[in-house]
């Protein structure tokens, strides 16, 4: 089987929104990637248990959001394995198939890369694409050379899109009874409403997905 050029977009996707999709499409087009894998984190190591919506809901929202793009694909690699969802472990597992990987990170997340679990391993298995994030400075090439010397050639910088939407703000809008129309795909908006996600009542916001 011929190796493919894959983009890897991880995150909690709580919820997935148009910013995620726009960045993924930009990376696919600009970098000539064959597909983009959306990899929801089952147990984000940086977030305490109970602060993240159950994975069943987040998987369902990702599936709904990407259904109309044949180049987008849901990966359960972090859901089907036990333990914390460390990106380096995920990338190494995906790279074992022989495909060429590009991990897509926001400028905000990229700046935190030195604090990750064994971040040097990431560059041994994949390239990195950095997307701009509204309100955060562009990465400093000198900082990259100092933090990860010799890895500069493995990093690409996307020029856009610069969308100022965040999952945190969307959850707050829903909790306040405000609209998230045009900020998430319509099927995701409907799913959030149908399952009472992010509502002020915690018991509703965290109840399991229906079978």
Residue pLDDT, tens place only, 17-52: 999 999 999 999 999 999 999 999 988 877 766 689
All domains of the chain in start order, with CATH: 5-164 (3.40.50.620)
Closest by alpha carbon to 170, among 162, 182, 161?
Answer: 182
0.85 exceeded by pTM:
yes
pLDDT(204) > 50 = no
Residue pLDDT, tens place only, 56-106: 999 999 999 999 999 999 999 999 988 777 899 999 999 999 999 999 999
pLDDT(211) > 80 = no
Q: What is the pLDDT of residue 49?
A: 62
- 181-186: which pairs have CB atoms within 8 A and are 24 or more residues apart? 182/18, 183/17, 183/18, 184/15, 184/16, 184/17, 184/18, 184/65, 185/16, 185/18, 185/21, 185/64, 185/65
Residue pLDDT, tens place only, 170-191: 999 999 999 999 999 999 999 9
Residue 184 has φ and ψ, to the nearest 5°, of -130, 160
């Amino acid at each position: 089987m011929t190796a493919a050029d894959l983009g890897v977009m991880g995150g909690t996707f709580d919820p997935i929104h148009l910013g995620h999709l726009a960045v993924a499409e930009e990376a696919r087009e600009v970098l000539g990637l064959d597909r983009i894998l959306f990899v929801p984190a089952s147990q984000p190591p940086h977030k305490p248990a109970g602060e993240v919506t159950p994975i069943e809901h987040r998987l369902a929202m990702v599936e709904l959001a990407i259904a109309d793009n044949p180049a987008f694909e849901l990966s359960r690699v972090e859901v089907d394995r036990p333990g914390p969802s460390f990106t380096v472990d995920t990338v190494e597992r995906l790279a074992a198939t022989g495909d060429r990987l590009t991990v897509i990170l926001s400028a905000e997340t990229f700046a935190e890369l030195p604090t990750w679990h064994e971040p040097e391993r990431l560059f041994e298995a994949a390239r990195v694409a950095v997307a701009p994030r509204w309100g955060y400075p562009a990465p400093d090439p000198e900082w990259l050379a100092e933090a990860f010397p010799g890895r500069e050639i493995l990093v690409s910088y996307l020029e856009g899109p610069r969308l100022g939407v965040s999952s945190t703000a969307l959850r707050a809008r829903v909790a306040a009874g405000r609209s998230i129309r045009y900020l998430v795909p319509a099927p995701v908006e409907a799913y959030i409403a149908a399952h009472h996600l992010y509502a002020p009542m915690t018991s509703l916001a965290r109840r399991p997905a229906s079978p």
